[in-house]
Each structure stands twice: as structure tokens, then as C-alpha cells.
Amino acid sequence: MGKGIVVASYGTIHTETLKKTIEIIENNVKKKYEKVGKNIIN
């Protein structure tokens, strides 16, 4: 079994907050580890 990274959040109903926080973190993790594997689940 391989290693993995889990990014979890409770989410938000506020679109601007989502764009300023959760989406930035998710995108940074995807960019940093994109060469490791393609099994990214949204």
C-alpha cells in the first residue's frame, strides 16, 4: 500500500472565504504533489 495525503475541511457557504482559504490550500497541495500521483479526488 502506498502513502497518501488527505486534505479535509468542513467547507463553507461563503464563496469568497472558500476562494481565500480552502481552494488555495487544496491547489497548493495539488501543485506540490502532482508528480507523485494522478489519483486526486475532489
State the amino acid at position 9 in one-letter form.
Answer: S
Please state the separation of Cα 12 from the chain's center in Å.
14
Top pLDDT among 28 and 9 is at 28
Rounded average pLDDT over 14-38: 85
pLDDT at 3 over 80: no
CB-based contacts of 5, cutoff 8 Å, min separation 6: 29, 33
Rounded average pLDDT over 18-33: 89
pLDDT for 28 equals 93
Top pLDDT among 22 and 3 is at 22
Helix (H, G, I), strand (E, B) or coil at 4: coil
The percentage of residues in the chain with a pLDDT greater than 90, rounded to a whole number, is 14
